[in-house]
Structure 1
Amino acid sequence: MRGVRQVALGMAFSFFVLSLGLVYWQVVQADTLLENPANRRLILMESRVTRGGIFDRNGEILAQTQIAEGKKVRVYPKGEMFEPVLGYSSVKLGASGLEGSLADWLLGIKRATPTQAVQQLFALPRQGDDVVLTLDSRLQSIAYNALKGKMGSVVALDPQTGEVLAMVSQPSFNPTNLDQKWNEIISQEEKKPLGEKQRPLEHRYFSLYPPGSTMKVVTSAALLRSGLNTTDLYQCQGSTIINGQVIREQNDRAHGWVNYNMALAESCNTYFATFGVQAGDQVFLSAVKGFGFGQTIPFELKVPRSSITKETMNPTSLNTNLLAASTFGQGEVLVTPFHMALMTAGIANDGVIMTPHLIERVLDSSQNVLFQQKPQPWLTALSKEEADKITSGMVTAVTDGTAAPGALPGVQVAGKTGSAEPGGNVLTHAWYIAFAPADNPQIAVAVIVENGGTGGGAAAPIARQIIQEALNQKVGDKSE
């Protein structure tokens, strides 16, 4: 009898442990499982759930489920323009991008209404929720067409709210009839004759690149905090030696006597390296941390962290040579275009970086608002005085410096170019960051063209088109 009792107790204990496991995964971790795009249960649920639509801020349809020949079909009226950020939803391929990360909303699972809860409980057919994004199709179209045929990315933000107005990666892909086109898309991942990869599935706004001279707006914070007098003159002779390391200007050009504004405008490497080293690694590391380096960006999609060194995300010190190279965006510095746009927006917003977001609101099938986004600050990178001084230098860069190709008639644009060396015998990556109007910023933009050469030549004209359209329509306004 004792043996039977022990077996019974053992079985009871096993059932108890199994029950705890079921409770943990079905209740405690339910949201985590549902939010995982690899969870095919979400895709299979669509046999009885009609996935909600995805719309831009003006109500234009970006993704919608339609019935064709008795079957549900996910359609994307804008084609590849919103890829890869929009992603796809397929029984065969799973889900990616926003289609994956927003599946709990789109399938009516997150914050389910009482009706949806009953329908879900009894596995009844039901309608998911609609998601309205902050993206603006008009700006997205301009960015997409301006980048077409190139490899690179554009990110445009409202600096006052953190709303993402445009987010483009090129090359991209058309998600319509994706199951049939998948092999063709995958084949585009192969190398071209010159050795570069098209990589249409890559989210280039989340790819890590050396920032080149766009980094100087961040280094500026360290210079200002070290007590630098921005009116003092420095003689640029085309190169300088710091701790045995030769720092060169682009094309070995000597800029002559420059103050802070002209050094930023002419993108003087030796000025920023010299005064950056004088400021010291602790002041520099404090400044970059304030801009979010080494930190996870709160966002609806996962953004890789930007970094100063390869060894650690948050170094406590830098040697002199690495510090000197880091001040003008070389060395080991890596940053995503998305983060660069955020940092630019922070300068525009008096030093405060707002939490970026793509979701504006979520509506149930009766168009009741289930969720409404509220702007929230993320980091205070600069004081207003520091932001004003950096803005002044960026304005000079547009009026009298390398950022001049981004100028607009009748509008004061604040901008900065970058030509980042990726390593190897290839052209530099072309960067351009800007915001406008400088005295009351409505839009902030970051553009990168891979191996595009100079930022002024390849990237600035793209940013100029986007800023022009944004200001013409009064950025963010809903179309009538």
Structure 2
Amino acid sequence: MNTTLRRLSAVIMVMFLGLMVATTYTQFLRADQLNRDPRNVRSIFREFNVARGPIVVAGQPIVESVPVDTPFGFQRVYAGGDAEKAQMYAPVTGFFSLVNGSTAVESAANSFLNGQADALWVDRLQNLLTGRKTQGSSVELTIDPAVQQAAWDALGGQRGAVVAVEPKTGRILAMVSKPSYDPNVLAVHSTGQAGQAYQDLLNAENDPLINRTIGALYPPGSTFKIVTAAAALEKGGLTPDSVIPAPVTFRLPGTSTDLPNFGGAACSPTGEQTLTDALRISCNTAFAGLAVSLGGDAIRETAEQFGFGDPFQVPMRSAVSRYPAAEGFTDDRVALSGIGQGDVTSTPLQMAMVSAAIANHGTLMQPYLIDTIRDPDLEVVQRTEPQAIRDAVSRTTADELRDMMVATVETGSGTAAQIPGVQVAGKTGTAQTAPGVAPHAWFTAFAPADDPQVAIAVIVEHGGDLAQGATGGRLAAPIARAVLQAALNR
């Protein structure tokens, strides 16, 4: 009898031990996994039954949660339901959807917006003790509404992107991508409607869900000549007044292909010109030859100092801008890389940061979108402090590049970016993508040149309204001018 009881007790103890292990495993080790599982209805209701914090621009919410008489409790509303304004901010805010997840700031700052961040543990403890419902924190962005609106309006109905940055801090003042979308159609509580709206956007032409400022890679065209010029000054022993070859055409090494200048024009009647003049009028043959003489390694190292090869976290992760690896990188490809063609790719944000680093005396700052996070009592929980990444170039080189870029706007290819009474430093770019396809039009700049307050990059895809007649100077520079003016008038 005792033996039977001992055996029964042992079985019961093993069962209890198994139950404790299973419970611990489920509630502790697998808790996060189960909470994130999209099939977990309890998690879904918990997420949507919270007064999710607002996303704020210049003291005004551009995204907020409003009470609704449904099992979910709250409805996420973008720009007060104004579809166009919601589209203007969509690349920044992203969406928070019942069936489609979340993106952009809605995703990157989710733990603060839903009130579950570790930094909010005091609020969570107070809620537990008082029975108060959880409320999310407000996320205040660096976006300036006037600059954002100017970029949105100036880009018009064209495909492309505009990003503006404060050079001394890295604060992102504008982030516009077109075409865009209305996040309100994805935030509805009808799973059928939200799912169909998402599929419609996935199937739409021109990828409206992509934030082109950080998520799309383009050949940077002649805007990359800034980097090539920086390599020449930093590593090639040249000065702005150094004279370099500038022939009518340049034979790509090892090929029978001749690279022309824009429109087949000669850059100089003598077949040579200063480095400053080559940048000022954007001479292709001069920079192709310069790239070969410098070598791919020198240009690559300089590009990487500006951020190529690494993503930016703004807090969303940007696509990685690339300068080609050394292996198999022949001189003909090096020549093309010197003018931002061939295998070089860049996001608009990356080219804005190139200009921003030059404007900031050579120091590359970390770009960021979130300025301040406040708890429900409006106490500051987190504030972003400006952070330097590295010195991309020396102060002397940055000042020389600044002066060369000023010449580009004053008397060169970028005159359409001129602002009366303000000295603008800029560089045009016209990037070829495929034979017979209209080029991308680029412009990057900063102003005022003597005390930079804003740096910018603009891209208009495939010639925009000007189609085959587009150049960076004709199409992108006027857009940049409008945005620079808005930033300087704020």
- CA shift, 1:38, in A, is 11
CA gap of 1:243–1:409, structure 2 versus 1, over 3 A, is: same
CA distance in 2, matches of 1:356, 1:210: 21
CA gap of 1:358–1:35, structure 2 versus 1, over 3 A, is: farther
CA gap of 1:19–1:146, structure 2 versus 1, over 3 A, is: same
Whether contact under 8 Å (1:415, 1:434) holds in the other structure is: yes
Pick the aligned partner of 2:361 from 344, 350, 357. 350
Partner residue of 1:106? 113
- CA shift, 1:385, in A, is 0.7
Aligned ranges 1:83-102 → 2 under 5 Å = 83-102=90-109
Pick the aligned partner of 2:151 from 143, 146, 153. 143
Instruction: Answer with 457-466 or 113-122: which moved more.
Output: 113-122
Aligned ranges 1:76-475 → 2 under 5 Å = 76-77=78-79, 78-110=85-117, 111-119=119-127, 125-178=133-186, 179=188, 180=193, 183=196, 186-187=199-200, 190=203, 197-205=205-213, 206-224=215-233, 225-245=235-255, 246-256=258-268, 257-309=272-324, 315=326, 318-452=329-463, 453-473=470-490
Q: Deviations over 1:343-373 (max 9, x none)?
A: 2111111111101111110111111111111
CA distance in 1, matches of 2:122, 2:133: 14
Instruction: Answer with 238-247 or 427-436: which moved more.
Output: 238-247
- CA shift, 1:418, in A, is 0.5
**Other structure's SS at 2:428 match:** strand
**Other structure's SS at 2:170 match:** coil
CA distance in 1, matches of 2:198, 2:475: 27
CA distance in 2, matches of 1:203, 1:259: 38
Instruction: Answer with 77-86 or 326-335: which moved more.
Output: 77-86
Normalized against structure 2, the TM-score is what? 0.86
Whether contact under 8 Å (2:89, 2:176) holds in the other structure is: yes
Partner residue of 2:467? none
CA gap of 1:10–1:272, structure 2 versus 1, over 3 A, is: farther
Whether contact under 8 Å (2:296, 2:326) holds in the other structure is: no
CA gap of 1:35–1:347, structure 2 versus 1, over 3 A, is: farther
**Other structure's SS at 2:174 match:** strand
CA distance in 2, matches of 1:42, 1:439: 54
Whether contact under 8 Å (1:213, 1:267) holds in the other structure is: yes
Instruction: Answer with 71-80 or 11-20: which moved more.
Output: 11-20
How many pairs were matched up?
459
Paired letter, 2:59:
G
- CA shift, 1:187, in A, is 3.5
Whether contact under 8 Å (1:160, 1:354) holds in the other structure is: yes
**Other structure's SS at 2:91 match:** coil
CA gap of 1:399–1:88, structure 2 versus 1, over 3 A, is: same
Cα root mean square deviation, aligned? 3.0
Whether contact under 8 Å (2:372, 2:380) holds in the other structure is: yes
- CA shift, 1:113, in A, is 4.0
- CA shift, 1:396, in A, is 0.6
Instruction: Answer with 354-363 or 420-429: which moved more.
Output: 420-429
- CA shift, 1:441, in A, is 0.5
Whether contact under 8 Å (1:40, 1:94) holds in the other structure is: no
CA gap of 1:97–1:35, structure 2 versus 1, over 3 A, is: farther
CA distance in 1, matches of 2:64, 2:40: 21
Runs of 4+ displaced beyond 6 Å: 3-11, 32-42, 120-123
**Other structure's SS at 2:397 match:** helix
Whether contact under 8 Å (1:417, 1:432) holds in the other structure is: yes
Q: Judging by fraction of residues, say which structure has more helix.
A: 2
CA gap of 1:408–1:34, structure 2 versus 1, over 3 A, is: farther
CA distance in 2, matches of 1:33, 1:302: 25
CA distance in 1, matches of 2:331, 2:130: 66
Whether contact under 8 Å (2:244, 2:290) holds in the other structure is: no
Whether contact under 8 Å (1:62, 1:76) holds in the other structure is: yes
CA distance in 2, matches of 1:38, 1:162: 39
CA gap of 1:366–1:265, structure 2 versus 1, over 3 A, is: same
Instruction: Answer with 16-25 or 390-399: which moved more.
Output: 16-25
Partner residue of 2:65? 65
Paired letter, 1:349:
N
Paired letter, 1:157:
V
CA gap of 1:447–1:454, structure 2 versus 1, over 3 A, is: same
**Ranges in structure 1 where 5+ consecutive residues have no aligned partner:** 192-196, 474-480
- CA shift, 1:236, in A, is 2.5
Whether contact under 8 Å (1:44, 1:91) holds in the other structure is: no
- CA shift, 1:22, in A, is 5.7
Whether contact under 8 Å (1:294, 1:306) holds in the other structure is: yes
CA distance in 1, matches of 2:309, 2:37: 24
**Other structure's SS at 1:458 match:** helix
Whether contact under 8 Å (1:48, 1:126) holds in the other structure is: no
**Other structure's SS at 2:398 match:** helix
CA distance in 2, matches of 1:211, 1:39: 45
Paired letter, 1:294:
G
- CA shift, 1:319, in A, is 2.0
**Other structure's SS at 1:85 match:** helix
CA distance in 2, matches of 1:165, 1:322: 36
CA gap of 1:447–1:339, structure 2 versus 1, over 3 A, is: same
CA gap of 1:109–1:121, structure 2 versus 1, over 3 A, is: farther
Whether contact under 8 Å (2:50, 2:74) holds in the other structure is: no
**Other structure's SS at 2:161 match:** strand
**Ranges in structure 2 where 5+ consecutive residues have no aligned partner:** 80-84, 464-469
**Other structure's SS at 1:264 match:** helix
Whether contact under 8 Å (2:417, 2:424) holds in the other structure is: yes
Whether contact under 8 Å (1:37, 1:95) holds in the other structure is: no
CA gap of 1:379–1:42, structure 2 versus 1, over 3 A, is: farther
CA distance in 2, matches of 1:222, 1:59: 43
CA gap of 1:121–1:235, structure 2 versus 1, over 3 A, is: same
CA distance in 2, matches of 1:372, 1:279: 43
CA gap of 1:46–1:12, structure 2 versus 1, over 3 A, is: closer
CA distance in 2, matches of 1:209, 1:331: 11
Identity of aligned residues (%): 35
Whether contact under 8 Å (1:43, 1:94) holds in the other structure is: no
CA distance in 2, matches of 1:47, 1:35: 14
